[in-house]
Structure 1
């Protein structure tokens, strides 16, 4: 911006009167200030599952959880599938947009480059992976997703590059002002019922929260200070879960376990600030907000909250959003894009609550206030 400003100043001086010259310089400075001010954080580092995956699984040879085919991405700016389980942008994309950042790229797309440098990590990195869980039960020889622990391992590699490129002090300053977004736990809740776990629900929830905390502790140890953490939503009411019920109602067993996990997560988070100096967080109660969407759809701009937009069969949930599936034309009216994932319209509404929501849904502060701390 400095060289551009100097160039414009020279042109103005040679072409216009002193009065016009002064005005143009003021205008250029004002524009420069506005661009700088629009960027609320230096970077955003994203961890989680398919709700925020930007295409990492495209690079996993053994992954079955991929969305790099139509009709995914039909409303993305490129109109092409990117690996996002959505018709357009997901929550991570939209939060980055609101923070004044460019779209945050998937880590595996960056690490595979031969000419990589620390500069490519300065805007942030997306480590999220579809089918990822908090608990690590992945065979390292045949990884089909990136569990939370491995995502944090990847971040530690990025941290090393940032320190080498910026120096310790500048890297720490950069990371302390950046935001760390974590959206995970959904697949762990499903897995409890699918795997017929021998643990009680309370034991299972406790193990999830323990591992979650350990990963937050690792991130904190390597510079993270501001966290945006999303609780598990009403995942018993996805088209996929409804489709398993004879009456097409929500699976309340799944929902009750999600509530138990969220309560334990909130309890753990409340102790973070006393345990880790300088840490701040914003917790988003996605469960309550999604439940509002489902119970009062028209108030929130939805006309369909049970069936998926893209799929086949009952509730469009007999099959995933595959190239031969059908899809709705009124995507902004649907809560769900496919069997388990929200539409871009739903992501946008959720992000508004994450950023600007009242204390009831985003606490102890919303993200807009978090980044200002």
Structure 2
């Protein structure tokens, strides 16, 4: 349906970039991750199998965009870039200093730096007119921001410096120039995913006795999403030929949490793989226990979706009604 898909983001769409970062602690390259992947092996995805990046590629008939760090030293890398590349990095945020405690990561700014080098390689191969045509028909997926919220929540220094309102405003203020840079280097069709109900992850539910969602954090997500939508509308009115599909992950996730059976899910609070209460005391490791009915769980580990949930989300991103996707869904964006 499209020539290529380029993916920017965090662990929700990382397909293994962090495996090539020697000093990164944000890795999922060990069991039980990957237990339902076709190879039955861990791949660097924080999932029991495929994640959203895989399903998005399937929707448009492309292979999953491979990790940039895997491709960049290959001899025939430019031809390998033709169907798209993933720059997504687990732990990454909009801000460069988000999650520095996890060692090496690829923050969004650096992901866009890497994209510029890919653009230059494609320019050499396709020429100016060719690359313009190729990229104008390609999709650029952006899934980022969750780690910035988690980081703010865990760092009193940031909380003392900024109110939640100021912080989420700063997030969109820092995201905008990166989207402009991607646009400058040929991107015309963007799929931008808003923040989900971060306060309803097992990681944050386990903090209170009643195992309820953290509504304060959820409110931060709502505020961020509102600013993000406004920013995207302003960019579209300013930048020629820019089209986008925004996915309201928050409202969609809220619907799943309220009516899980509608989506074939039975467990929305507890993680499938982990340790302790709600299996949320530690991320999924070889020492963790995991559930057998993985297709019925919303969460694979303490903050990442299961393969089944990722598939459900991507179905909504691709074909969703205007309640969740606007101004158009991804399927309509492809046809623009």
Q: TM-score, normalised by structure 2?
A: 0.97
Aligned to 2:141: 181
Aligned to 1:160: 120
Deviations 1:328-373 (A, max 9, x none): 1100000000000011100111001100000110000000000100
In 2, Cα distance between equivalents of 1:204 and 1:243: 25
Aligned to 2:57: 96
- Consecutive unaligned residues of structure 1, counting only runs of 5 or more, are 1-39
Contact 2:4 2:138 in 1 (8 A): yes
Contact 2:197 2:221 in 1 (8 A): yes
State which of 303, 314, 319 in structure 2 corresponds to 1:356.
319
SS at structure 2 position matched to 1:322: coil
Q: How far 1:253 moved relative to its partner? A: 1.4
SS at structure 2 position matched to 1:104: coil
Q: Which has the larger radius of gyration?
A: 1
- Consecutive unaligned residues of structure 2, counting only runs of 5 or more, are none
User: Quick one: structure 1 residues 76 and 247, their matched pair in 2 at CA, closer, same or farther if it must change by over 3 Å?
Assistant: same
Runs (4 or more) in structure 1 with deviation over 2 Å come to none
Aligned to 1:202: 165
User: Quick one: structure 1 residues 214 and 357, their matched pair in 2 at CA, closer, same or farther if it must change by over 3 Å?
Assistant: same
In 1, Cα distance between equivalents of 2:328 and 2:14: 25
SS at structure 1 position matched to 2:244: strand
CA RMSD between the two structures: 1.4
Q: How far 1:205 moved relative to its partner? A: 1.4
Contact 1:138 1:145 in 2 (8 A): no
Aligned to 1:72: 33
Q: Which is worse superposed, 322-331 or 222-231? A: 322-331
Alignment of 1:1-373 (within 5 A): 40-113=1-74, 115-137=75-97, 143-196=103-156, 197=158, 198-373=161-336
Q: Which is worse superposed, 197-206 or 82-91? A: 197-206
Larger relative contact order (CA 8 Å, sep ≥ 6): 2
In 1, Cα distance between equivalents of 2:105 and 2:76: 23
What number of residue pairs does the alignment pair up?
333
Contact 2:18 2:89 in 1 (8 A): yes
Deviations 1:244-289 (A, max 9, x none): 1122111111111011100100111111111100000000000011
Q: TM-score, normalised by structure 1?
A: 0.87
Contact 2:194 2:250 in 1 (8 A): yes
User: Quick one: structure 1 residues 139 and 292, their matched pair in 2 at CA, closer, same or farther if it must change by over 3 Å?
Assistant: closer
Q: How far 1:139 moved relative to its partner? A: 9.7
